[in-house]
Amino acid sequence: MITKQLVAASTKPLLLSILSYGENYGYQIIKEVERLSDGELQWTDAMLYPVLHRMEKENLIQSKWVKRDNGRKRKYYQITAEGVKALEKEQNQWKNVDQVMRALWSKPETELANISIK
């Protein structure tokens, strides 16, 4: 399982990324994340919706209620221009972290020791 802290840190970039493919609703997003992580990331509604609200308040996403054929309603979320910019920033940061980790983990152990000594 992924730790709580990492889940918290990755929620925002993940949400922005998913919504960058097009508008989506809460339950679908949870399923999408679960599918992409092979079940490693399991989000709950109680965690997701407050985050979506916060992001909406920050103007990163916007929402609308859509009435379905069976009379029920569903809330759809959409990324905003500001959200796209935020996503770019997030991507750069994660790529940097990723790059460092890859560099460190791809080296043989002896070299790693040298790095830590320096």
Partner 1 sequence: MAFRIEQAVKDWRKQLLSNPSIEPGFAEELVASLYDRYDDYLIAGYSKEDAFRKAKEAVSPCLESTCGEYHKVTSRRKFQFSQHPKLFILLPNYIKTSIRHLTRKKFYNAINFLSLVIGLLFTLLAILYIDYETSFDTFHENTENKYRLGREFRSQKYSVYSFDGYYGAPREEQLKQINAIQDIPDIKTACQFYTFGLPELVTINNKELSVENLLETNTPKRFFEYFNWTFIQGNTTSFSSQLNSAVLTASEAERFFGEDWANQEIIGKDLNYNDEAFVISGVIEDIPSTSHYDFSLALHVEKINYWGSRTYIEVADNLSPEEIASRLDANMDKINTPLSTSELFNGNIVQNLTDIHLNSNMLYELKPPGDKTYLYIFGIISGIILLLTVSNYTNLSIAMNASRTREIGMRKLFGAKKPQIVKQFSAESLLLSLLSIPLVYLGLKLLIPEFNSFMNVELWGNQTSDLKIWSYFFGIALLIGILSGMYPALYLGKKKIIRLFKGNLVQNGGSGITTRKAIITFQFTLLIGLCSLTLYVNQQLKYIQNADLGFDRDALVYVNLGEDADVYKTFKNEVLQIPGVTDVGTGSPLGRSPFNQTTYKLGQTDEVFDDAYDIYLTYESVKMLDIETSIPEIIENPEKAPKSIVIINETLKQKLMNRFNLTAEELLQRRIIEEPEYTDEDTGEVGFPFEIGGFFKDINMFSLREEVTPMFITAYKDPENVRWAAIGFDTSNTAQLMAQVKAAYKKLNLDKAFYSSYLSQNINELYKKERRLGSICILFSVVAFFVAVLGLIALTTYLTTLKQKEIGIRKILGANYFQLIKRFNKEYVWLLVIAILIAAPLTYYGVSTWLDSFAYRIELSGLVFIWAALITIFISALAVSLITLKVVRAVPVKTLQVDQ
Residues 3-19, buried b or exposed e (16+ Cβ, 10 A)?
eeeeeeebbbbbbbbbb
Span of 7-15, 23-31, 80-88, 108-116 interacting with partner 1 by CB under 8 A: 23-31
Angle at 94 between CA 30 and CA 60, to 5 degrees: 55
Build a one-symbol-per-residue string for 73-92: x at contacts with partner 1 by CB under 8 A, - elsewhere. xxx-----------------
By CB under 8 A, is residue 27 in contact with partner 1? yes
Span of 2-10, 49-57, 89-97, 103-111 interacting with partner 1 by CB under 8 A: 49-57
Helix (H, G, I), strand (E, B) or coil at 98: helix
